[in-house]
Amino acid sequence: MKKVLNVIDLRGRVPSPALLRRVLPRGGTDINAVLPVVSPIVDEIRRRGAEAALEYGEKFDSSRPDSIRVPQEVIAQALEQLDPAVREALEESIRRVRTVHADQKPQSHTTVLHPTGSVTEVFIPVARVGLYVPGGNAVYPSSVIMNVVPAQEAGVGSLVVASPPQAAFGHWPHPTILAACALLGVDEVWAVGGAQAVALLAYGDEQLDPVDLITGPGNIYVTAAKRLVRGVVGIDSEAGPTEIAVLADASANPTWVAYDLISQAEHDVLAASVLITNCAELADAVNAEVAARYEVTLNADRVKQALTGQQSGIVLVDDLETAIIVADAYAAEHLEVHTENAREVSERITNAGAIFVGGYSPVPLGDYSAGSNHVLPTSGSARFSAGLSTHTFLRPVNLIDYDAAALEEISSTVITLANAEALPAHGEAIRARFVSVEGDS
């Protein structure tokens, strides 16, 4: 039988967390390795702004637009010329994503600790955000939706979309990207990509206002630039190559699983496709289906490199319990669950960017039109971070509102703790409100 995916056989043992971190398939991207290349770009754009960004775009993308900011007539024309079927699909996806992300917005709430002392938590949107939309191996109008909609639902007042210029389209971003921006009411689009886009979003110049937060996926150079500007601005994450894990038992359809692994592999040669199963027969069947089907896809060469790379493979375990342990250790960006009682199994997973329940909830649904967000944590970071959402663009702020009676009730506690920490002026600041302090007039 022809095999494409490597097999890691963990049967006969319950693997420890340390072992799983060593043996599970992972890519080898190293952001630190490209920092020496990216750092001079960021520094140059910090000094010279848009002009430096245009020069780097010409060098790396062989494209130099007439201006960084895309003219309104170019954006409007892209929407006018958009295929009606694509427009309809984008509009329906926008509707679904907006519905889900509107429901995510938290409500302010007040906790009363004294009849006249309370703490209120309010949620304030980030003032200005930069949303990066890549333009490499594929065109991603879906990423426009996934970045813009949650920012809008959070109440962000000012946002800019940055996407690489392309010589084939008048040195502006791809027209489908521009059309998606028009559908969403985004009128500020920058024709700049790569590390130079991130740097320009962070620092701006005399004509282009900088942002406060940068979100959106990109290649390793984009990620390295986000690391370098973090602290000057906020970032959503340091995203690595995309990945899928499929947790499956003997009830799974091997053809469906194979197609889902292939579909993720077509994103990038570094994309990861992993099957975790307690069924050796399913593992063999999926490997055979992958081998039979990937060569007829449009992006077969890219798919082959991804599927045969060290980041992809099949993990064989003894039972479903161990499969769940392995899935949590892998902490996939996208996790599909193809088992009996798939919803029950899905609710036992603790580490995943997004969980796709059963055979009729495949990852491509989430990429476009499920209503969920497809900007998700990668490289195991789902163990401690979350995907893009309305929450990403909101800052919880506490309003502490005590009057004299409420403060006096708790004053001795504050003074005692201040003295215990050898910070007596803290206590004096409390005491001064209730007794005369030496030196007061």
- Express each pLDDT in 109-119 by its tens digit: 999 999 999 99
pLDDT of residue 3: 80
Q: Which residues are annotated as a binding site?
A: 132, 196, 219, 242, 264, 267, 334, 367, 421, 426
Known binding residues for NAD(+) are 132, 196, 219
Q: Tell which residue, 397, 363, 327, 321, has the closest CA to residue 121.
A: 397
Question: What three-state secondary structure class fits 122?
Answer: strand
Answer yes or no: is 438 within a domain: yes
Across the range 290-296, mean pLDDT stands at: 90
Closest CA to 13 of 364, 306, 246, 322: 322
pLDDT of 321 strictly over 90: yes
Among 171, 174, 334, 338, the one annotated catalytic: 334
Go through 246-281 and write b for each residue having 16 or more CB atoms within 10 A of its CB, e for each that does not: bbbbeebebebbbbbbbbbbbbbbbbbbbbbbbbee
Residue carrying the six token digits 């958009």: 82
Residue 280 has pLDDT above 60, yes or no: yes
CA pair distance 3, 57, nearest whole angstrom: 41
The one catalytic residue among 153, 289, 333, 336? 333
Give the SS3 label for residue 214: strand
Residues 15 and 36 in one domain: no
d(CA 135, CA 141): 10
Paired residues of 399 in beta bridges: 120
Strands 109-114 and 117-125: antiparallel
The pLDDT tens digits of the residues spanning 175-221 come to 999 999 999 999 999 999 999 999 999 999 999 999 999 999 888 89
Whether residue 363 lies inside any domain: the answer is: no
In percent, the amount of the chain with pLDDT more than 70 equals 97
Are 58 and 157 members of one domain? Answer: yes
Based on the fold, state whether residues 39 and 172 are members of the same structural domain: yes
Whether residues 36 and 25 share a domain: the answer is no
Domain count, the chain: 3
321 located within any domain? yes
Q: Report how far residue 2's alpha carbon sits from residue 292's, in angstroms, rounded to the nearest whole number.
A: 8
Q: Angle at the Cα of 413 (from 412 to 414), degrees rounded to 5?
A: 90
359 in a structural domain: no
If asked whether residues 214 and 312 sit together in one domain, one would say: no
CATH code: domain of residue 59 = 3.40.50.1980
Q: Which long-range contacts (CB under 8 A, 24 or more apart) does 55-62 make?
A: 56/194, 56/195, 56/196, 57/164, 57/165, 57/191, 57/192, 57/193, 57/194, 57/196, 60/193, 60/194, 60/196, 61/164, 61/165, 61/166, 61/167, 61/193, 61/194, 62/167
**Lowest-pLDDT range of 87-91, 219-223, 283-287:** 219-223
Residues 151, 161 share a domain = yes
pTM of this prediction exceeds 0.75:
yes
Q: Please report whether residue 371 resides in a domain.
A: no
pLDDT at 441 over 50: no
Structure tokens given for 217: 């996926």
Distance CA 366, CA 373 (A): 7
pLDDT 10s digits, 348-369: 999 999 999 999 999 999 999 9
Residue 437 scores a pLDDT above 80: no
Give residue 280's domain range.
7-29+257-351
On whether both 199 and 67 belong to a single domain, the answer is yes
Asked if residue 288 and residue 181 are part of one domain, the reply reads no
Same domain, 117 and 37: yes
Q: Is residue 336 part of a domain?
A: yes
How confident is the model at residue 439, as a pLDDT?
52
pLDDT at 295 over 60: yes
296 contact partners, CB below 8 Å, separation of at least 6: none
Same-domain pairing of 48 and 152: yes
Specify whether 172 is located in the same domain as 301.
Answer: no
Give per-residue pLDDT as tens, 380-434: 999 999 999 999 999 999 999 999 999 999 999 999 999 999 999 999 999 999 9
> Is residue 357 domain-resident?
no
Domain for residue 251, yes or no?
Answer: no
Each residue's pLDDT tens digit, 109-152 = 999 999 999 999 999 999 999 999 998 667 889 999 999 999 99
| CA-based nearest residue to 174, from 129, 143, 206, 203 | 143
CA distances from 51 to 37, 174, 194, 219 (A): 19, 21, 15, 23
Residues placed in the known binding site for Zn(2+) = 264, 267, 367, 426
Distance CA 58, CA 191 (A): 12
Say if residue 23 is in the same domain as residue 35.
Answer: no
* Known binding residues for substrate: 242, 264, 267, 334, 367, 421, 426
Q: Does 373 or 30 have the greater pLDDT score?
A: 373
Mean pLDDT value across the chain: 94
Q: Could you tell me whether strands 117-125 and 394-402 are parallel, antiparallel, or unpaired per DSSP bridges?
A: antiparallel
334 is known as an active-site residue: yes
Residue 229 corresponds to which amino acid? V
Alpha carbon distances (Å) from 106 to 101, 121, 155:
11, 10, 12
Considering only 166-175, 252-261, 429-438, which range has the smallest mean pLDDT? 429-438
3-state helix, strand, coil split of the chain in percent (to 5) is 45, 15, 35
Catalytic residue flag (residue 51)? no
Q: Which residue has the higher pLDDT, 440 or 355?
A: 355
Residue pLDDT, tens place only, 45-61 = 999 999 999 999 999 88
